[in-house]
Chains A and B, each alone.
Chain A
């Protein structure tokens, strides 16, 4: 069982790169512990800025730093950085086109028992609607590391969402196929296509394994790049599938499912079923309990695929 959460993978890459690159600056809003960025703050105090419990400040200060040549990573719980500082993300990052990567930590229902104030089930929709804002939900620690390395190479704004808890590895250190803004085929299959992002990739891969035992071959597309959505990769995979099932830790509107439905509907119409959290305050519990309750687990996804193929 992997014990490294994706947020820690982000910190490790930033620390490795910050040794060489003094322009990397990390900001937190009293969130260095929950973002796993305390080691960065300790080792690179000159490249770390504490913004206090003030997410608007966090994002605007980050944009100001970026305007002066800094490569900014601003980390705060996804529920806050995608909502409280939404306008700063829109105006100071996207509109002013500053090199700021917003890192939404403990995304989705990671803070399951803390209730709706701490859930971020709207962040994909909100952030994707901003022109010049990219949205990434990496699935495991290896993919997260690849993504952060790529983001450090470009000068554009982006939003990353990661969960709080470690997720089971999908890839390995030596075998993590990654091309920027291209979805990764996490499992091959012909009969159906499962498109997932973030923490939902693992149960989707497990669902494909369950289906295989039952004679159904399902492909899994790891759409870590929710925006820009990899349309080419999606259509290629959807072409041969009997049905498409999308899976996301997000509200049912405006997220991965909506975007996949748009593309498939326009270019190769077929049945698309969206699995997501409900349009209601989410039940409280651990992430696992919440996922199980809403069928966002291997069994639920496999069942949805079978029904979609019927």
Chain B
């Protein structure tokens, strides 16, 4: 587990390098979601370059598609494509490594970018699994700001109606969106109760940037029968460096040279601190 925590700091650096090279990217959300992705890809899901065409593989949909930089970093670490190529080509003219997931790339199942699509698409995938009596599981990650999209709740209704216990959604609850605090922009109220009332099993992760806590949550989700599960991961936007942490301005921002230096230093220090834990 310590290795994965260290890995998540290395991947954070890859993300920042991508954004420096591509001159743009959703850096704040990348930092909040990356531990969720590392946990899913390295601890939870049965998916790798070797089994990417196997109909029995687990399926992942990045509903908050704008945080594709974090997904690229994790997929590269899994061996789907070389990280050097991603950093070099991210957002460049004619590049396949564009600012939202596209399924021309290995490891990416569905295109996304417009919010509120991932959950209903995942419902379809989970239904197919039930129809074909396959035991794969379907995972999707949404942003908390994304939950204002009505289609999320259409999907939430359907997932419970069809008792899709092979479906696990995650909410990257970093409490910030582009205009500010989620509770000021469009209040979530009692989010847990909202999902519960829709018929979901709700798992709260106190520190959504803690891979141990996340792993335990996904284990719990796997054991749920007869209903879908949602992991509400309380994360910190910009997690990894005080330069960015909990600041709405870092939703989409390219660090200056000085900021870059400080951010990389912070990552290294926090990674170093892991060995003293």
Q: How far is the CA of A52 from the CA of B132 in the complex (A)?
A: 22
Contact check, A57 vs B151: say whether CB atoms are below 8 A apart: yes
- Whether B117 pairs with A88 at a CB distance below 8 angstroms is yes
| Contact of A67 with B112 at beta-carbon distance under 8 Å, contacts A51-B158, A52-B154, A96-B103 already known | no
Q: Which of B112, B121, B150 has the most CB of A within 10 A?
A: B121
B4 in contact (CB, < 8 A): no
Check B124 against A62 for contact (C-beta < 8 Å): yes
- A133 in the interface (beta carbon within 8 A): no
Q: How far is the CB of B108 from chain A (nearest CB, A)?
A: 10
Q: Are A68 and B157 in contact (CB under 8 A)?
A: no
- Majority secondary structure of chain A interface residues (helix, strand, loop or mixed): helix
Which chain A residues border B112 with CB–CB below 8 Å? 91
**Residues of chain B with a CB closer than 8 A to A70's CB:** 128, 131
Q: Would A87 and B114 count as touching, CB distance under 8 A?
A: yes
- On whether A54 and B158 interact (CB within 8 A), knowing A63-B110, A65-B127, the answer reads yes
Closest residue of chain B to A27, judged by CB?
A: B124
Contact indicator B155/A91 (Cβ below 8 Å): no
**A60: Cβ under 8 A from any B Cβ:** yes
B129 and chain A: residue at smallest CB distance = A68
Interface string of A45-70 (1 = CB under 8 A from B): 01101011010110011111111111
**B180 / chain A contacts, CB cutoff of 8 Å:** none
Size of chain B's interface in residues, with CB distance under 8 A? 31
Contact at B55–A68, with CB atoms within 8 Å? yes
Contact of B213 with A by CB under 8 A: no
Q: List the B residue with the shortest CB-CB distance to A56.
A: B151
Q: Is B235 an interface residue (CB 8 A)?
A: no
User: What is the interface size of chain A, counting residues whose CB is below 8 A from a CB of the partner?
Assistant: 27
The answer to whether the Cβ of B125 comes within 8 Å of any Cβ in the partner chain is yes
Say whether B127 contacts A64, CB under 8 Å. yes
Bound complex: CA of A97 vs CA of B110, how far in Å?
9
Task: Indicate whether B234 reaches chain A with its CB closer than 8 angstroms.
Answer: no
- Report the minimum CB–CB distance from B145 to chain A (whole Å): 17
Inter-subunit contact A68/B132 (CB<8 Å): yes
Say yes or no: is A140 at the interface (Cβ < 8 Å to chain B). Answer: no
* B123 interface residue (CB < 8 Å to A): yes
Given contacts A64-B123, A67-B109, A67-B110, whether A57 and B128 have CB atoms under 8 Å apart is no
Binary CB contact string for chain A from 189 to 224 against chain B (1 if under 8 A, 0 otherwise): 000000000000000000000000000000000000
> Does A92 sit within 8 A of B, measured CB to CB?
yes
Residue from A64, A66, A95 with most neighbouring chain B CB atoms (10 Å): A64
User: Is B209 interfacial (CB 8 A cutoff)?
Assistant: no
Query: Do A60 and B128 touch across chains, with their CB atoms under 8 A apart?
Result: no
The residue among A60, A65, A70, A87 with the most chain B CB atoms within 10 A of its own CB is A60
Question: Most B CB atoms within 10 A — which of A87, A88, A92?
Answer: A92
Which residues of the partner chain B approach A92 to less than 8 Å between Cβ atoms? 110-111, 117, 121
Known contacts A52-B154, A57-B155, A91-B112: A67-B125 contact under CB 8 Å = yes
Give the contacts of B117-149 with A (CB-CB under 8 A): 117, 120-129, 131-132
Pair B124/A66 contact, Cβ less than 8 Å: yes
Q: Give residues in B with beta carbon < 8 Å to A.
A: 55, 59, 102-103, 109-114, 116-117, 120-129, 131-132, 150-151, 154-155, 157-158, 161
Offer 12 A-B interface pairs, CB within 8 angstroms, sorted by A: A49-B127, A54-B151, A54-B157, A57-B123, A60-B121, A61-B120, A61-B121, A63-B110, A70-B131, A91-B117, A95-B111, A97-B103
